[in-house]
Structure 1
Amino acid sequence: MEVALSAGARLGSYEIVGTLGEGGMGVVYEARHERLRQRVALKVLEPRLSRSEVARERMIREGRAVAKVSHPHIVGVHDAGFERGYAYLVMELLEGEDLAQHLRRHGAFEPSDAVDLLLPVTAALEAAHRSGIVHRDLKPSNLFLTRLPSGTLSPKVVDFGISKLQDATMGLTATAEVLGTPAYMAPEQIDAAREVDHRADLYALGVILYECVTGRRPFEGAQRPLALLHAVSEGKFTPPRELAPQLSKGLEKIILRCLSREPDARFATALELADALLPHASDAGRTRFADLDPRGPGPATRAALEPHDDAPTVARGGSATVMWVAIGLPLVVALVAIASLFDGDDVYAVSVTTSPVDAEIVLDGEGVGVGALDTELPRDGASHTLVVTAEDHAPFEITFTDEPPPRVITLEPRGPTEPPAEPPVEVEVPAPSPPRARPARRGTSTRRADPAPPETASSNSAPSNTAPSNSAPSNTAPPGAAPSAAPAPREEPAAPSGLPVVGDLPLLGR
């Protein structure tokens, strides 16, 4: 593996914090945005692939496509780039473990728990398929499990489009990588990879469901790669009920239909598969899926109440079981509906995705995520406030009580704004004072001068070296006076009549 970025290294606006994991395609790091300080997962292709222009373009194109899906059960993709020979994707940072690790530690699930876990995955696949995206590499290690505050496992689909990147690889190493997970590949992926469509993902989900309820994969016995590929192509495996007798016949039929060799024999869509699984889920699982169903709660509710001939019945008491058998099917459906009113869930799911994907989500005054929120709240009558903000967008705020907010919140971009014009400032200018007559000195005449503008006032009497206190200031300094630091521009003074003029100043007699 050529990729080696140490803590403190930078790619674009992201600083490497540490290594989260490695794979055949590259390394996943924990990183932090240098300005926003947001923690993210940075997936970096190994340089051998990063040098391939086809691989780089496909990685960026797939990252852009997944970012458009914006689903609470698909890992969020925030950015993509290429710098210093490294192609990378910036993704939502998840905490938990993948399904493969969980199965190794805990073994098989109870059938209803397995259905509860995978129902959100069908919703995620439906959203991806509607956007024209086929995963092609769905497997337990690509289903990451986080936990809701209630402790419920919540899956997220990761690594969309990786198999398309593998098309760009060459040589023996690339071939070995393609054979790394053939146990989850549909037969058509082996026989004619170019003809693969979204039903290959439904096949892989059937393999995962088989493994969740039995604790082993359908083609576990084939150890060598060629033998495994042959077994997948032939479609021969042990029926799941032989390994898990507690499995209902109806759920086994669903698994077998997913694993059909011919794509046309499988479910047509992920939503059709979800409808088939709903009767085998728990009440809580059906409620959570109703919030994810793109058709709204109606179809999911109807599917949840549809009877099936082999679904296990949980008796609340001996007499109740006898009554169900005696009075027949229609009343059983009514009893289930009535029971759901009294035994309803005491929590409700809050699953929110935002546009733009880097919007910050605040719930009850506390930051809870960026781009997506997947949590549960108690149905206790308390009000909650959700605020979504993003740079250059108008904020969104909603208050809700015992009912979830909208699943998709789109912020309106702000247009260019101009600063408000300042009101004109009115300056009160005092009117000039009229000139006052100068008091007569002793021994002099009181001859009145003709009125003149203050700037060029003149007198027929001999000028004095001191200006009157209330007259307009003169533009020429009296003889002997100190010059001012910054004299005002001078205007041509009018020379008093009868006095010789030198330059622009009247020559004063002694």
Structure 2
Amino acid sequence: MPTVSFNVNFPDYEIISELGRGNARVLKARHRTTGDLVAIKQFALNTDPDTLRRFSRESEIMTGIEHPNVVKVREIQLEAAMPYMVLDFVEGGDVRSLLKTEGHLPLSTVIRLGLQMAEAFKAIHQRGIVHRDIKPENILYRRLISGELHFLLTDFGIAKIEANDSTRTRTGQSLMTYEYAAPEQFDDPRQVNVSSDFYALGVVLYEALTGQVPFVLHNDAGLATFMKQVLTAQPSPPQLADNQFLPPSLSEALRQMLLKDPGQRLQSANVLELLLEQAKVELLRASQSGSGAQADARVAVMDWVLEAPAAPEPAYEQPVYSAPAYTEPTYAEPTYAEPAPDRSLWWFLGGVGVVAVLVLLFVFLNQRRPTEGLYPAADSTATATPIDSSMLYQPATPQSETTTAPTEDTPPASETVTEEPAQKQPDPAPVMTPELDSAETMSRDTTF
């Protein structure tokens, strides 16, 4: 490994301490005139030309950006024997040191980190700058008087110090840190764009929540196995410690940022801010309600649905095939409603039967009443009563009126016949006697 040598002479700055060292070193210094604390990043004598060209291009762009969530570049010295740049010094450290100390960050801090990085993305992306190396080491923080953390993005397009762990930065062909690189960076590093920065930020937020990246590069498994996971496998839903409440909007933001397809991936800082602001509201409501936090956390995990993989896992398709089982009761419901129509039908048929019986009874009674009116009963005195011959030719109209409308007050026919002998009329001609005997006989037969 080549020896790294540095020049320690900086005319305008007083060196206080060294913050880090590799193929470049970072120094803490104070400006001799203003007294401002600064960080000086100096490249070694044997720094490769490609790194220096990237440094020159990106640093010139960054000198024009002043944003509270972007570390300001104060000065660039390209003509020096060992080029260096001067940045604002940020007290505190980087997010990597936080994760090493605490394991994971509180939910409110993760949301704050996401919101402030969205603001930083606005500042750089609108200028056509793609960071290409978003990771915890490149996000610095300072602690405010309130105790909250203020985050700043740094190291734009500059190769970081090569670490001894698995999160190595590859320079030369491309600039990436494997565990934070988007799938398209493995396919074609030249296709890296704004969407790639959002994917890397999604990995950072996922790690800040859980203490672990979605896909871990294990030394024993090899890079090929790791790349296959990044390109095809789906990340597991984030599992928080002690089953903490996970705001659904934060879960949705992570889901959209970690999509495989860069065209479908979330790549708008404004959309990310909307989701994270809603997550703040959901977190506040959960802390106030308390009782529903655990249930909401489980719902947020269940709602974690990512882009369908090329070879779908059976576990993700199983709910689709089991869905008809839940709809079967809807087809069986009409069987419970069948008895109601049957009861109404029986009541209807019973009513029809009653009406039919009443109609038959009415007809039967009406058939009896005309018979009594047409052939009135006569007593024994009617055998000697003479009949006026004029009665034999009397019209039948009065007779029909009497038979069609009989009343209870009408006197019986026997009373009318018994009054006839009092007139003492002469005996009628005997020619009609046989017919009278026949009528009397019929009257007797029909009298009940």
> 1:292-331, aligned counterparts within 5 Å?
313-315=286-288
Matching residue within 217, 223, 236 for 1:238: 236
Whole-Å separation in 2 of the counterparts to 1:30 and 1:177:
31
> 1:102-501, aligned counterparts within 5 Å?
102-162=98-158, 181-220=177-216, 222-223=218-219, 224-241=222-239, 246-281=245-280, 313-315=286-288
Structure 1 position 189, deviation (Å): 1.1
- Number of residue pairs aligned between Structure 1 and Structure 2: 283
Whole-Å separation in 1 of the counterparts to 2:169 and 2:257:
31
Whole-Å separation in 1 of the counterparts to 2:284 and 2:171:
43
Code of the aligned partner of 1:314: S
Q: Which has the larger radius of gyration?
A: 2
1:10 aligns with 2:9: yes
Whole-Å separation in 2 of the counterparts to 1:75 and 1:197:
21
Matching residue within 63, 66, 83 for 2:62: 66
Structure 1 position 230, deviation (Å): 2.4
Contact preservation (8 Å) 1:260, 1:266: yes
Deviations 1:315-348 (A, max 9, x none): 3699xx9xxxxxxxxxxxxxxxxxxxxxxxxxxx
Structure 1 position 11, deviation (Å): 3.2
Whole-Å separation in 2 of the counterparts to 1:60 and 1:15:
24
Whole-Å separation in 2 of the counterparts to 1:235 and 1:317:
35
Change (3 A) 1:317 1:124: closer
- Residue 28 of structure 1: aligned partner: 26
Structure having the larger proportion of residues in strand: 1
Whole-Å separation in 2 of the counterparts to 1:173 and 1:124:
22
Structure 1 position 199, deviation (Å): 0.9
Whole-Å separation in 2 of the counterparts to 1:241 and 1:281:
19
Change (3 A) 1:194 1:12: farther
Deviations 1:287-334 (A, max 9, x none): xxxxxxxxxxxxxxxxxxxxx7x985333699xx9xxxxxxxxxxxxx
Change (3 A) 1:311 1:257: farther
Structure 1 position 105, deviation (Å): 0.9
**What TM-score results when the alignment is normalised by the length of structure 2?**
0.57
Whole-Å separation in 1 of the counterparts to 2:52 and 2:70:
22
1:78 alignment partner, SS class: strand
Contact preservation (8 Å) 1:2, 1:46: no
Change (3 A) 1:5 1:218: same
Code of the aligned partner of 1:195: Q
Whole-Å separation in 1 of the counterparts to 2:45 and 2:224:
30
Structure 1 position 227, deviation (Å): 2.4
Whole-Å separation in 1 of the counterparts to 2:21 and 2:231:
30
Whole-Å separation in 2 of the counterparts to 1:226 and 1:26:
29
Contact preservation (8 Å) 1:62, 1:160: yes
- Residue 400 of structure 2: aligned partner: none
Structure 1 position 3, deviation (Å): 4.1
Whole-Å separation in 1 of the counterparts to 2:186 and 2:139:
22
Change (3 A) 1:201 1:16: same
1:71 alignment partner, SS class: coil
2:60 alignment partner, SS class: helix
Contact preservation (8 Å) 2:207, 2:213: yes
Deviations 1:62-99 (A, max 9, x none): 11211212111111100111355201111111111211
Whole-Å separation in 1 of the counterparts to 2:147 and 2:57:
35
Contact preservation (8 Å) 1:31, 1:41: yes
Whole-Å separation in 2 of the counterparts to 1:261 and 1:127:
25
Contact preservation (8 Å) 2:111, 2:280: yes
- Residue 52 of structure 2: aligned partner: 56
Contact preservation (8 Å) 2:56, 2:78: no
CA RMSD of aligned residues (A): 3.2
Contact preservation (8 Å) 1:235, 1:261: no
Structure 1 position 276, deviation (Å): 1.4
Gaps of 5+ in 2: 163-167, 293-448
Code of the aligned partner of 2:235: F
Change (3 A) 1:76 1:94: same
Whole-Å separation in 1 of the counterparts to 2:278 and 2:42:
42
Structure 1 position 164, deviation (Å): 11
Contact preservation (8 Å) 2:38, 2:89: yes
Deviations 1:166-212 (A, max 9, x none): 9xxxxx99559969721100011111111111111110111111111
2:70 alignment partner, SS class: coil
Code of the aligned partner of 1:262: D
1:238 alignment partner, SS class: coil
Change (3 A) 1:242 1:272: same
**What TM-score results when the alignment is normalised by the length of structure 1?**
0.50
Change (3 A) 1:2 1:75: farther
Whole-Å separation in 2 of the counterparts to 1:200 and 1:180:
10
Contact preservation (8 Å) 2:4, 2:44: yes
